[in-house]
Structure 1
Amino acid sequence: MPETINPEIPQLVRRLREDDEEAFCALYRRFARKVYGTSRKMGVGHEDAEGIVQEVFLRIWKNRRGLKDALSFNAYLLAIMKSLIYKKAKKIARFQLYTQRSQQKDATEENLGEAALLYEDLRKFSEYALASLPKSQRQVFEMKYLHQLSAEEISQRLSISKRTVETHIYKATKALRHKLNGSSTLPAEFMPILVLFFLD
Structure 2
Amino acid sequence: MKEDFNQMFTNYKCRIYAYILAITKSEYVAEEITQEIFIKLWVARENLHEIKNLDGYVFKIARNLSLNHLRKVAYNEKMSGELIRVAAKDGDSAETKLNLFDYNKLINQAVDGLSPQRKLVFKLSKEDELSYDEIAAQLKLSKNTVKNHHLTAMGIVRSFLIKNGISSAVTVFFLLCF
Matched, 1:158 2:140: yes
- TM-score normalized by structure 2? 0.67
**CA–CA distance in 2 between the matches of 1:127 and 1:86?**
27
Q: Structure 2 residue aligned with 1:82, among 60, 63, 66?
A: 63
C-alpha distance after superposition, 1:79-138 (max 9, x if no partner): 33234323433443344345434548xx9xxxxxxx9x9456545543443232101222
Q: 1:14-163, aligned counterparts within 5 Å?
A: 15=1, 20=2, 22-65=3-46, 67-71=47-51, 72-97=53-78, 99-103=80-84, 118=99, 121-123=102-104, 125-142=106-123, 146-150=129-133, 154=136, 157-159=139-141, 162=144
Instruction: Name the structure with the higher helix share.
Output: 2
**CA–CA distance in 1 between the matches of 2:50 and 2:137?**
22
1:28 is paired with a residue whose SS is: helix
Q: Structure 2 residue aligned with 1:190, among 156, 163, 170?
A: 170
1:158 counterpart letter in structure 2? K
1:69 is paired with a residue whose SS is: helix
Larger Rg: 1
Greater relative CO, 1 or 2 (CA 8 Å, sep 6+): 2
Number of aligned residues: 165
**CA–CA distance in 2 between the matches of 1:103 and 1:57?**
38
Change (3 A) 1:173 1:53: closer
- TM-score normalized by structure 1? 0.61
Change (3 A) 1:95 1:143: closer
1:42 is paired with a residue whose SS is: helix
Structure 2 unaligned residues grouped into runs of 5+: 89-95
**CA–CA distance in 1 between the matches of 2:103 and 2:21?**
31
Q: What percent of counterpart residues are identical?
A: 20
**CA–CA distance in 1 between the matches of 2:130 and 2:43?**
16
Shift of 1:34: 1.4
1:68 counterpart letter in structure 2? L
Aligned-residue Cα RMSD (Å) equals 3.7
* Equivalent residues of 1:181, 1:191 under 8 A apart: yes
**CA–CA distance in 1 between the matches of 2:138 and 2:31?**
34
